[in-house]
Structure 1
Amino acid sequence: MESAITKLAQIRIPLQKILDVTNNFSGNNIIMKGDFGNVYIGKLDHEGKMIEIVARRLDRKYGHRDIEFWAEVSSLSRFMWIDEIVAMIGFCDEKGENIVINHHYPNGSLSRYIKDPLTLDVDQRFAITVAICRGISSIQTELEGDYIIHRNINSSTILLDDDWMPRLSGFDYSIKHSKERRNLVLNSEAIGTQGYIDPAIEKYGGVNYKSDIYSFGVVLFELLCGGNAFEENKLLASLAKYHYENGTMKDIIHPDLWNQMNPESFKCFSKAAYSCLQEDPTLRPDVDELWLQLEKADRLQVGGF
C-alpha cells in the first residue's frame, strides 16, 4: 500500500511549471483575491491533456500558516476520486511558496446564485443539496479509521461545475479525527465564516462532526429562502428557526422560489434543514439520515408537479 508521503510526491508540481502557466503570477491572471492570497487562472498540460486550472497562492501576510496549507493538501489528496469534492491537480511547496492547484470551475461558488431564482431554480437547488450531502458523507465515512471535520462549510466553499453540480472546497481549516472517538468534542476555537459557525462550539469548547451538519443546515436555508446567511446584521439561522417554529416560513422565502415549490417537498426539506440547527448537537441528524430526507424532498419536488 502506498504511503501518504509517496502519494503526495506524485502530485507535487514544480514551481517553474506553475510560473509558466500563470505568466509569472501576472496580475492579468488573477481571478480572485481570497482569504489566504491571490487565485490565478491558467492552462496546464495534465496527463497529456490541456486543462484549465486555478492556482491558489497562499500568502502569509493574510494569516496563512503551514498547518492550513497541509490540512487542505492532505484532505483533498484523500478524496481526489470523489465527484462531490473539488478536484485537486497538485500542489507546490517550493522556495517558500505554498500553492494548491485545482480544476477551474467557471460557474464559481454557490454563493453567487443564492439570490437568483432563475439561474438556480428550486429543482436545481434541491438536487444540489443532495449532492453536497453525498460529499459531506464521503469526508465523514470514506476514510479507513478516520474522518474529516471540514469546519468551514458555507455557500462560498461550494463550487459549481459545468453541470451545475456542487464541489466541496475550502479544506484549509479541516481536521482529521479517529472514528473511534467520533462523538467526542475536539478542543477548538470557533473558526469559520460568520453566519455558519455552530454556536455549540463556544458552549462546549470545541467541534465534532455535528458542527459540519449545523453549517450545512444554514446552506440549506440559504437555498430554500434565497437569502444570505448573514445580512443586515441578521443571522439567517435564527430567522429561519423562528419562522419554522411559528409556521411562517413563507415570509422569508423569495416569492419566485416559493411559487416553484411543491408543498410536500417544502415540508420535507424545511424539516430536514431545521433539524440541522438544533442547539444540542446530539439532536442533529447524522449525514446519511439527512441525505435520505433530502433525497425524499428532491423526489417529491421533481415528481410533484
Structure 2
Amino acid sequence: MTTAIAKFAHLQIPLEDVVKATNNFADDNIIGRGGLGHVYKGQLQRSGEMIKISALRLDRKHGGGVVEFWTEVSMLSDLKHPNIVSIVGFCDEQHEKIIVTTYEAKNGSLKEHLSNPNLTWTQRLKICVGVARALSYLHYDEGRGYGVIHLNINSSTILLDENWEPKLSGFKVSIKQSLNRMDRVILSEPIGTIGYVDPEIEKSKGVTYKSDIYGFGVVLFEILCGRRAYIRNDANRLLAPLVMRHYENETLHDIVHPDLRNQISRGALRRYSKTAYSCLKEDTMQRPNMVTVIDELEKALEKALKFELRLEYFVRPSLLFFFFFMSITSHHFNLFI
C-alpha cells in the first residue's frame, strides 16, 4: 500500500485532527452505521477554513475492508461532480482507516424519505434527475479516460443535502473500466445490496454498466411507490418483481404512494414508469443507457412542473373564494347575533 499512500499523499489527514473534529468519535456524532463501520459528523480545520465533514471509520474488530477503503479513496480522488460526494481526505495511521468527505447528508439518505408525505413528486423527480446525471458522468465522462461502474446504487447511498439535492456516495466496490469496454462483462460475484442486485450477474457471471441501470431502476420505483426495495418479513419482500408484475398488468397505480397519486398526471406517470421498467429488463441489451434515461426523466419533470402550475392555478383561487365566503358568512352571522 506504500505506492497507494504516495499517490494520495496530498489527501492524508493526521489522526489527531480527525479525533478532534469528531470529538473523539463521540456517540452523539454517529450519523450512520454500515457493514464497514460507523460514520461520524464533525468539523475539521482545513486550509484555514472550518468545514463540516463525514468520517467513515473502518471497524477494526472485524478486520477487512482494506480493499474497499482504497477503492473509495481512489474513486473519490478522481471524481468531481455536483451530484457526487466530495472527498476531503483520509487517515491511515495507528491501525485506523478513515475516509473523510464533506458533510452532504443534512437531510439524511433517500431511504429515510421514501414514504415522506412532504417530499413532493416534483422534488422526487429532481432527485432522480440528479442521480441520473451522476451516473451518466460515471459511465461516460471522457475527461478521466475511463468509466466507473458503481455497483451499489440504492436509496441508502443517495444522500440529500439541505436543498434536497442528491449526492451519490458508496464507491467501496466500484470498478474502473475503459470507456470503449463499458459494455463488456467483467467477471464478478454478485455485488451490491439485497433488492438492487442485477439478477443477470448470476447468469453472465459478471457485471457491466447495465448493472447500475438495474439498481437505478429499482430506486426509481422506490421513489414512486414510497417503499424500500427489500422488506424482510413482507409477502412481497422484493419490490422489483412486484412493480414489474403491476406494470405488465397495467395496475401500477394501485401501488403508487398514496400521497403522490394526486400530484402525478397520467402522462408523467406513463413516461416515468416506462423508463423505470425498461431499466429492469431481463435482457441487458434492452436496458437504456443513462443518456436516454436523463432525457426521459427531464421530460417527466417538465410535465410535473406544468401539472403543478395548473393545480396552483385552479386550487388557489378556489381556496381564496372559500376563505372569502367564510369571512362574509361569519361577518353576517356575527351581525345576526
TM-score category of the 2 structures, normalised to the smaller one: over 0.9
- Check the 8 A contact 1:35/1:62 in 2, yes or no: no
1:244 aligns with 2:247: yes
Counterpart code for 1:227: R
Q: How far is the alpha carbon of 1:6 from its aligned partner?
A: 6.7
1:284 equivalent among 284, 287, 290: 287
For each residue in 1:197-244, what CA deviation from the matched residue of structure 2 results, as whole angstroms up to 9, or x when unmatched? 000011110100000000000000000111111121521110111111
Find the residue that maps to 2:125 and give its secondary structure. helix
Q: Which residue of 2 aligns with 1:59?
A: 59
Q: Which residue of structure 1 lines up, in the alignment, with residue 77 of structure 2?
A: 77
In the TM superposition, what is the alpha-carbon distance from 1:146 to its structure 2 partner?
1.1
Pairing 1:195-234 to 2, within 5 Å after superposition: 195-231=195-231, 232-233=234-235, 234=237
Write the distance in 2 (CA, Å) between the matches of 1:298 and 1:200.
30
Answering whether residue 15 of structure 2 is matched by residue 19 of structure 1, we say: no
- How far apart, CA to CA, are the structure 1 residues paired with 2:39 and 2:28? 11
Moved more, 70-79 or 214-223: 70-79
Quick one: which amino acid aligns to residue 34 of structure 2? G
Deviates further, 238-247 or 11-20? 11-20
SS in 1 for 2:98: strand
Could you state the TM-score of these two structures normalised by the residue count of structure 1? 0.94
Letter in 2 for 1:131: G
SS in structure 1 at match of 2:130: helix
Q: Hey, what does 1:31 align to over in structure 2?
A: 31
Structure 1 runs, 4 residues or longer, greater than 4 Å off? 3-7
Q: Which residue of 2 aligns with 1:113?
A: 113
Question: Map of 1:185-200 to 2, 5 A cutoff?
Answer: 185-200=185-200
**Residues paired across the two proteins, number:** 301
Mark the runs of 5 or more structure 2 residues left unpaired by the alignment: 311-337
CA RMSD of aligned residues (A): 1.7
1:262 to 260, 265, 268: 265
Q: What's the TM-score once normalised by structure 2's chain length?
A: 0.85
- Native 8 Å contact 2:36 2:65 kept in 1: no
- Return the offset for 1:4: 8.7
1:97 aligns with 2:96: yes
- Which residue of 1 is the match for residue 172 of structure 2? 172
Contact 2:22 2:41 in 1 (8 A): yes
1:275 maps to which of 273, 278, 282: 278
SS at match of 2:90: strand
1:129 aligns with 2:132: no
Q: Distance in 2 between matches of 1:144 and 1:75?
A: 11
Residue 62 of structure 1 and its aligned partner are, at CA, apart by: 4.2
Task: Calculate percent identity across the aligned residue pairs.
Answer: 49
1:63–1:191 CA distance, 2 compared to 1 (3 A):
farther
Q: How does 1:42-53 map to 2 (within 5 A)?
A: 42-53=42-53
Alpha-carbon separation, structure 2, partners of 1:282 and 1:60:
42
* Structure-1 residue corresponding to 2:333: none
Compare CA radii of gyration and give the structure with the larger one.
2
- Structure-1 separation of matches of 2:229 and 2:29: 30
CA distance in 2, matches of 1:113, 1:63: 32
Residue of structure 2 in register with 1:10 after alignment = 10
